Structure 1
Amino acid sequence: MSTSITPPAPPLQANGLTVTSTGSSFVIRHPDQKNALHPIKTSNDAKTIFKITSDVGLNRIKEFLKKVDLTAISTRSLAAIGKTLNDNNLISDAVLAQFKAGSMEYDNKGKQINLDKPFNALALFDQKMDDRTTYANANPKEARTSAFRRETSGIQEANHVISAMSWFAHSGSGSLSVSVHA
């Protein structure tokens, strides 16, 4: 009696998402990226993104974020940071949802996996925004739908927040700062 082994199906790839028989994950094209592709240029821009209107609570947030490495952060850590920022009205619910999605790794039943595995949030959010723009340009009818625009807005806002966090890490400002390790 002969038995044959069927090889697994090759992975399906679309918009950075790789889907296999065991689950799906977002494949970051530039995992070694150290800087935001669309960096924040001034402290006022960064403060606007974080919705900071006064210095109340700023020192607590600064202390909370100062040891964050955006190039090696886990989904669990990014979600916790997002929750704290959201609880302090510094980011929207849409950004919080993006942070909770984190590395976008799921098993074949749709459950998030690898919540403690580090990934490069700078590269991931830049790539998600780039992929979204590329898709919108190729599919203008879909890009005009309210669902697509709403999701794109959340990705764009999350990308801006990650860029602002990176700006604070690299600035000499006495304001909110985040450490990004090379």
Structure 2
Amino acid sequence: MAVLLTAEQMRHTKASNAFQIQHPEKVENKYTIKEASVAADTLKLREQEEIESLKVFLKDYDMTSISTDELKKVGRRLYESGMIDVNTFGIFISGDGASDANGKQTDTHVKFNAIALFDEKLEDYLAFVKSNPNVGRSMGIPEYIQSMVDANHAINALAHFVNSSKNSLTLDERV
């Protein structure tokens, strides 16, 4: 059971509620990848063995029903393999953002749709920056936005590999 904090309570604590996904059923967005070659390029995969290894790793994960604990494992694999940078890794390991009064992550076992989460967090943040132009010019903000975009690309590439049945990047064209 999730407890939502009021604005007054949030002023006096490091606790934060989990990000409230408005459209948890959303599985496609402008970052959706429909081609294996694009998914491979997104994750900087060049060798067939890398793709096969990643698909074996991902067999137990569903990007539309994944927990913060699982996102940490997936993010670590991507980061250690050089598929994402440290800032994008930070987006993965932050999960849904729920934390207790000491700032420690909570409910890390709760599953959510990471495709919808990453997309909605980015859209919300872009709307915030647009309504507060001075924030957009602050140091580190463009890099943070780019890491959120990169996380969206990565999660959608992963979703493509999870949902595809073939390991090969080759095209099967029949006339």
TM-score between both structures, scaled by the size of structure 1: 0.78
Q: Judge which range, 101-110 or 167-176, deviates more.
A: 167-176
CA distance in 1, matches of 2:11, 2:98: 11
Aligned to 2:41: 48
Structure (1/2) with the larger helix percentage: 2
Is the 1:36–1:166 Cα contact (8 Å) retained in structure 2? no
CA distance in 1, matches of 2:165, 2:74: 22
Q: Deviations over 1:141-167 (max 9, x none)?
A: 211223111111111110110111122
Q: Which amino acid aligns with 1:12?
A: A
Question: Unaligned regions of 5+ residues in structure 2, if any?
Answer: 170-175
Bigger RCO (CA 8 Å, 6+ sep): 2
Q: Which amino acid aligns with 1:167?
A: H
Identity of aligned residues (%): 30
Is the 2:62–2:159 Cα contact (8 Å) retained in structure 1? no
Q: CA RMSD in A?
A: 2.6
Equivalenced residues, count: 164
2:10 is equivalent to residue 12 of structure 1 = no
Aligned to 1:57: 50
2:19 is equivalent to residue 31 of structure 1 = no
CA distance in 2, matches of 1:113, 1:10: 14
CA distance in 2, matches of 1:175, 1:84: 20
Aligned to 1:143: 136
2:68 is equivalent to residue 75 of structure 1 = yes
Residue 68 of structure 1: CA displacement? 1.1
Residue 34 of structure 1: CA displacement? 2.9
Q: Judge which range, 30-39 or 48-57, deviates more.
A: 30-39
Residue 171 of structure 1: CA displacement? 4.1
The structure number with the bigger radius of gyration is 1
Is the 2:68–2:95 Cα contact (8 Å) retained in structure 1? yes
